[in-house]
Amino acid sequence: MSQTADTAMTAPHDTTAQDHLPQLHRPRNPGLPLDLDWVARVQANTSAIERRAATLPGRRTVKKAYQAAWLARAVTCIDLTTLAGDDTAGRVRRLCAKARQPVRADLLSALGLPAITTGAVCVYHEMVEVAVEALAGTGIPVAAVSTGFPAGLSPYHLRVQEIGESVKAGAAEIDIVISRRHVLTGDWQALYDEMREFRAACGPAHVKAILATGELGTLRNVARASLVCMMAGADFIKTSTGKEGVNATLPVSLTMIRAIRAYEAATGIKIGYKPAGGISKAKDALVYLSLMKEELGDDWLRPDLFRFGASSLLGDIERQLEHHVTGAYSAGWRHPMA
């Protein structure tokens, strides 16, 4: 990372409480009519993208107090998630308690940081009401995965209805999954129509379009699917469900981020980005934050435009913050998720 990037984010003792609380949502993306000519012009130079992505993890990163500040910022961008078949109301309440205080108070005090929270809590529809109740008054939104997550192959009318039920239950964000076959067959009109209907069903809730990039075949498909979903009104585009064989990667992220940049250049509309699946180490979070800063700018270093779909990431970040304070690494069990 450049020296400019080193110093541009605020040091811990200067960080305000407001910066570390979930930001108010930006205005909705109204979308555009489908422009098939624009879609057809989209290409992806895979070898160049892979070369650029390969340089990112090995570059010099932020250190000392700046690293602590960046890691604290990363915490505020986490969608703390539980999507297990054995989820219970008790587990979700404990996860919400962690979202309210993701880093131990003594560590925050030693770092000179105010209270921070995660960006959101993400659950299945069945647990939305439990999470909404547990987070009441905090300003932390509840995100619900929807539309037959993770495969997106349930009956279409039920996928649309599921969105409405989650919004009715209090979800402020809906993570939908697209039909991968539309991308693989190049049926961009079908993908656009699907995304438009999902977006309409969300009503006031913001919608994150999960592309399941590990199943789309090529980076060109990823780029085109990203553009079509943004045209159809997606407020965020997201890499993965976390259930695919390959989830968030740096080449995929670079491809999607540049699609966001092109969309903003053409429309003036900022779209959010959410990498999900496989991001579990604090050093990975620093790489993604530096990528967002370099490609899109400081606006994408806040939770209204950037989220990590992760849970185990939080534990490693908390360990790194304790190391910054004490000079020693603690055992993982000292930083439980719930």
Residue 281 bears catalytic tag: no
Annotated active-site residue in 19, 79, 98, 175: 175
β-partners of residue 79 are 120, 309
d(CA 35, CA 88): 44
d(CA 328, CA 319): 9
Annotated active-site residue in 238, 293, 304, 316: 238
Residue in 320, 313, 321, 303 with CA at minimum distance from that of residue 337: 313
Residue 6 bears catalytic tag: no
Residues counted in the chain: 338
d(CA 318, CA 99): 13
Are 166 and 128 in contact, with CB atoms under 8 Å apart? Answer: yes
Buried/exposed code over 282-313 (b: 16+ C-beta within 10 A; e: otherwise): bebbbbbbbbbbebbeeebbbbbbbbbbbbeb
Residue 175 bears catalytic tag: yes
d(CA 190, CA 183): 9
Amino acid at position 309, single letter? G
Residue 278 Cα distances to 151, 242, 281, 283, 311, angstroms: 18, 7, 9, 13, 10
Annotated active-site residue in 235, 274, 284, 316: 274
β-partners of residue 238 are 210, 274
Sheet (strand 78-81) strand order: 272-274, 236-238, 206-210, 173-177, 142-145, 120-123, 78-81, 308-309
Q: Write out the two tokens for 167.
A: 């919004």
Tell me the Cα Rg of the chain: 19
Would you name the residues annotated as active-site residues? Answer: 175, 238, 274
